[in-house]
Chains A and B, each alone.
Chain A
Amino acid sequence: MSEIALTRVGRLRQEHAGGLRQARFFAWTFARSPSALLGLALVTVFLVLTLIGPWIVPYPEHARGAVDLANRLQPPSARYWFGTDEMGNDILTRVIIGTRTSFWIGLTITGLAAVVGVPLGVASGYFGGRIRSVIMRVTDVFLAVPGLVLALAIVAALGPGILHGVLALAIVWWPGYVRLIEAKALTLRSEAYVEAARTMGASHTRILFRHILPNCMGPLVVKASMDMGMAILAAASLGFIGLGAKPPAPEWGAMIATGRTYMPDWWWYSAFPGFCIFLTVLGFNLFGDGLRDTLDPRSSR
């Protein structure tokens, strides 16, 4: 089979055949778990709502807090599927728009935490020695303080608002990534193919980017998926105690907080946002679990 005879497409297909087969295998393994599929479904719904939410909501003007006192605190009905809040806003609309807020909150927290935590973890695990000591000490300090308390302190210092809440949580979150990636990098360092690379004269940079990092992706992706859910929950918790998003921003936690004063008679106000948090976190957890089972072939092949 000479180079000239193969078309460009043919060559590409040949090069990536193995990768495609891998992808199919992952999909097949993933699909064998009903809970993983449920997680995938929930996460997909969540992402779809994030994307097209603003265009499908029944009452777009309610998203930012219009006032329609005539319809305040209406129970769930055909007109208002989730009922209305004390300003007359449709809760369904606000919940759907809130999906967007939750998405970028979760993504930012997880993203920032990973961007900071992964390099530190890789450096710590791969280089060891003094670098590791320093990084571990710093990480230990952050881990010693309970997450939410630290976040509270930071937000209290910076002032309330979603942005500060997200920043605070990202600062709390990164040590987890360091720990996870460090453990993986440590085992990878003594793999035969890493030693082989060293005997070829590979620089540390090359080894890190070509051999260590790609093989850390598995645990990283699993953790990031599960963290999305937990980060959203944490942000909602901040919102709940009034240190995150401020009304009338349609953030789930803030909605639950405001709705608390209307419990139990106007239960739908807190219940539906709460239920959405539950479904979202559940979805990401199940999805992350499914990913872990797929990427970690402990189950029989």
Chain B
Amino acid sequence: MTPLLEIRGVTVRFGAAEALRDVSLALQPGAALGLVGESGSGKSTLLRVLLRLQGVAEGHVLMDGQDITGQREARLKALRRDVQVVFQNPHSALNPRRTVHDSVAEPLQIQGGLDGRAIRTRVSRLLDEVGLGEHFLWRYPHELSGGQKQRVCIARALAPGPRVLLLDEPTSALDVSVQSQIIELLRRLREHHALTYLFISHNLAVVQLLCEEVAVLRQGEIVEQGSVEQVLHAPQHDYTRALLSSVLPPGAYRLQQGQAAS
């Protein structure tokens, strides 16, 4: 099966430092791939490479099997429609001077082909799908909670009818009770629209909830990749094991150096 979106042997350098070194990752249609990495792992760079916002020193970026590595912006129309992103921080992902309606309508306006009324209907429907009522249409971002803002971002990402959603830590900035609502929403949307997900997170438990496969990124390299059962429950690499042992599950126990004793 041809992967929807793929990077092969990609290396990205910033000056002397290598943010990504010989990284290969493939998103099969319908997959939910988790990408786990801490700060400095290169996950943001990887995201930007996939979105063609970042150039590569070596390697290729392919979409539907076609090499889009060197392509100019004008030829990336398919990418811009089919691949959308939801960012980590909902507070900075929306233009503070634009209403919810305007922010969600923007991809529709860029695509063209719909008049004002049609756009408004579409926007209302999208907001409804993410669980926001009509009265949110004319609100400004600062009047919304974190969870509501993130829903708006998801609605905006869905507007152009994408096939792939790149989710960059979409729940990390949210309260845990809101987090589960968003995860449930993402699950539902994936089924409903047959979406492919790349879910970037440092939270392994959340990755387990949403993803089938997971790749572990460390300092620009993929150190382990496989199914969620394999990687999260039978890890091979030391780093993966270190990550897993750092997870603090809910429960009362005493932290002792090296291990947790219940």
Chain A residues packing against B (C-beta within 8 Å): 1, 3, 14-19, 21-22, 191-193, 195-203, 206, 210-211, 214-215
Contact = CB atoms under 8 A, between A and B. Distances in A.
Contacts of A19: 140
Contacts of B53: 195, 198-199
Contacts of A14: 137-138
Contact of B97 (A196, A198, A199, A214): A214
Interface in B97-129: 97-99, 103, 106-107, 110-111, 117, 120
Contact of B160 (A192, A200, A214): A200
B47 to A, nearest CB: 10
Interface stretch (B1-9, B86-94, B213-221): B86-94
Interface stretch (B74-82, B176-184, B196-204, B253-261): B74-82
A301 B138 CA distance: 22
A206 B156 CA distance: 17
Interface string B48-62: 000101000000000
30 contacts: A3-B120, A17-B138, A18-B138, A18-B143, A21-B143, A22-B140, A192-B87, A192-B92, A192-B93, A193-B93, A193-B94, A193-B103, A195-B87, A196-B85, A196-B93, A196-B156, A197-B106, A199-B51, A199-B53, A199-B80, A200-B106, A200-B110, A200-B160, A201-B81, A201-B107, A202-B110, A206-B110, A210-B98, A211-B95, A215-B97
Nearest to B77: A201
Top 3 closest pairs, chain A to chain B, by CB = A201-B80, A192-B93, A200-B107
A21 B143 CA distance: 10
B157 to A, nearest CB: 8
A18 B99 contact: yes
Nearest to A193: B95
Contacts of B96: 215
A117 B48 CA distance: 32
A187 to B, nearest CB: 11
A42 to B, nearest CB: 29
A201 B76 contact: yes
Given A18-B140, A18-B143, A191 B92 contact: yes
> Interface extent on B, as a size class?
35 or more
Contacts of A210: 95, 98, 106
B193 interface: no
Contacts of A196: 85, 87, 93, 153, 156
A199 B106 CA distance: 11
B89 A192 contact: yes
Interface in B66-84: 76-77, 80-81, 83-84
Contacts of A215: 95-97
A198 B77 CA distance: 11
B139 interface: yes
B64 interface: no
B117 to A, nearest CB: 8
B229 interface: no
A93 to B, nearest CB: 45
Contacts of B80: 199-201
Contacts of A211: 95
A193 B94 CA distance: 5
B185 to A, nearest CB: 19
B91 to A, nearest CB: 9
Nearest to B99: A18
